[in-house]
Every structure is written in structure tokens, then in C-alpha cells.
Amino acid sequence: MAAPVPLILASASPRRRELLAQLGVKFDVVVAGITEHEDPSTDPRTMVAHNAALKADWVAERHPDAFVLGADTTVFIDRTVLNKPRDLANARAMLKQLSGRTHTVFTGVALRRGRDGVAVDEGVSSQVTFRPLDDAVIDAYFRVVNPLDKAGAYGIQEGREMIIAGWEGSFTNIMGLPMERTKQILTTWGLVG
């Protein structure tokens, strides 16, 4: 019996690891040694596609026989990208900007295999509507969730009842890896049964 084709997740995100594991596929994690492009004035679709490809390409170059999955997610409102906040004051400012409004979450997904030049690039977007937030709600949210490692200073998977009124589109996209599309890509390449 042939050995299974290796799959590598090119991400440090624990949320992406948890989501990918739900597909029942075996994979390793290799964090790409790259600097992400995070200019807030960049088109969000372009930025997440670029960063996802950058991560996947870097790892695929070092593991040419493996399929490598890269992803990048950002939050977009007022024609501005909200990446991971610099500090708690920046996180608070982001949540105030999102308060009572609807924004878009964009994720870029890239699949690479170096040995034969496999290159698949996809983009997914979802809409999230926030409840109106005051300082007391933000303080309570920060006691439950670390906002510093999340684009837009929030995560939909924990404490959402405190800040989120609703969403449209892929829930897992908002978490950081659109599983519906990712499963389709991996199935096409025989990585998921």
C-alpha cells in the first residue's frame, strides 16, 4: 500500500489546526518564515490571497513532495483592513469601529505542491454584524477572549453572544479557514475521501 500523500498546514493558528483536523485528514504544521503584507489600505482580497500564497509557497519550497495549505484572514470595514491589533488600546478602537455595524471577513486559501507546480488559489468572504458595544461590554469581552491574536480583535468561536448579532456566509471562514471550500479543494486532489 502506498504511503499517504503528506499534507502540511502552513499556519501557526490554533483555530486553523482545529478546523482542518475536523476533516479527519492527517497533516503536519510548518509555520512559514515570512513577513505578511499588512498595509491597511490594500484591497483585502488581494492582501489575503498574497499572504496565503506566500505562506504556502515558502513551505512548499522546503517540502516539495507535500501538499501545503496556506490561509490568511482579515476584517474589512470603512474601506480599511483591520489586521491583528498592536495592543489592547488598538483592539478596543477596532471593536468600537465594528460596534453596531456589519463588516466583511475575507480569507485567502492557497494549496501548493512544489514538485509538480500545483497551485490553487481561492477566496471566500462572509458578513458579520456586531451588536452595539460600550466600554463595559468590551472590558467583559477582553476578560473572556485574547483579542491580540485575531484580525479585527475578535473571534467568532468564543464569547460571540457578547458582541455579535449575526452573520451570513461561512462561519468557519470567519474563524480563519473556510471549511466548505477547503474540503472541496482537498477532495479534488485526493487528500480527503
Active site residues: 72
Retrieve residue 134's grid coordinates: 460600550
Exposed (0-12), middle (13-18) or buried (19+): which is 22, by Cβ within 10 Å? Answer: exposed
Residues 6 or more apart whose Cβ sits within 8 Å of residue 191: 5, 7, 25, 67
Residues 6 or more apart whose Cβ sits within 8 Å of residue 134: none
